[in-house]
Amino acid sequence: MGTKEASSTDGYVLRIAHEDLVSQVFSLGKYYSGIQRSFIRGTPILFAAKSEGGDSLVGSGVVDKVEYLWEMTPEEETYAKEHGWKIGLTLRAATRFKTPLLIKNSLLKEDKRKGAFLHGAKLTEDQIDALLTQAEEIQEAQ
């Protein structure tokens, strides 16, 4: 399924609900989701999660492969179903930010969708670029 290549670089914000899942996403390079969007190879993803200062962007990645339940191994399918997930996104260039970018200090502060409602939000190429630049600047400042 994940053979289509993104023709534009619009992307999404995906929320990671628990700290143990944050570690899993970046160690395995895989994110499981219960929502379905137009995920194809090359889609940029920004990951949001709670941090000490509040909701933050904690990392980024690029979709390499999209797997639906029937394409997963039986063990992986069972794991996904137990959590209510419908797809698995294999990521390339999955990077966890050493210092999270607080959403309230980013261009997303004006977005009406807050917290869990930001999950699945589509971002333009310019928004993705601006947020990644801001996150990089924070990393370099530390």
**Model's pTM, two decimal places?**
0.88
From the number of C-beta atoms within 10 Å of its C-beta (0-12, 13-18, 19+), residue 76 rates as middle
Share of the chain above pLDDT 90, in %: 63
Count of domains observed in the chain: 1
For residue 25, tell me if it sits in a domain.
yes
State the residue range of the domain holding 97: 11-102+119-125
Torsion-angle region of residue 110: left (phi > 0), alpha (psi -120 to 50) or beta? alpha
Q: What's residue 88's pLDDT?
A: 95
Longest dimension (CA), the chain: 45
Give the angle subtended at the CA of 22 by the CAs of 53 and 120, to the nearest 5°: 85
In a domain, 29, yes or no: yes
Residue type at 100 in one-letter notation: P
Query: What is the C-alpha separation between 137 and 135, in angstroms, rounded?
Result: 5
Question: What is the pLDDT confidence band of residue 95, given thresholds at 50, 70 and 90?
Answer: very high
Residue 1 counted as domain residue: no
Q: Is the pLDDT of residue 3 over 70?
A: no
| Residue 63 maps to a domain | yes
Of residues 87, 100, 115, the one with CA closest to residue 60: 100
Looking at the predicted structure, is the pLDDT value of residue 2 above 60?
no
CA dist 129 and 106 (Å) reads 12
- CATH number for the domain spanning 26: value is 2.30.130.30
Average per-residue pLDDT for the chain? 88
pLDDT digits (tens, 9 = 90+) for 36-79: 888 999 999 999 998 888 889 999 999 999 999 999 999 999 99
Q: Which residues of 80-106 are buried (b: 16+ CB within 10 A; e: fewer)?
A: beeeebebbbbbeebbbbeebbbbeeb
Residue with more model confidence, 16 or 107: 16
- Residue 49 falls inside a structural domain: yes
Question: Encoding tokens for residue 7?
Answer: 């023709």
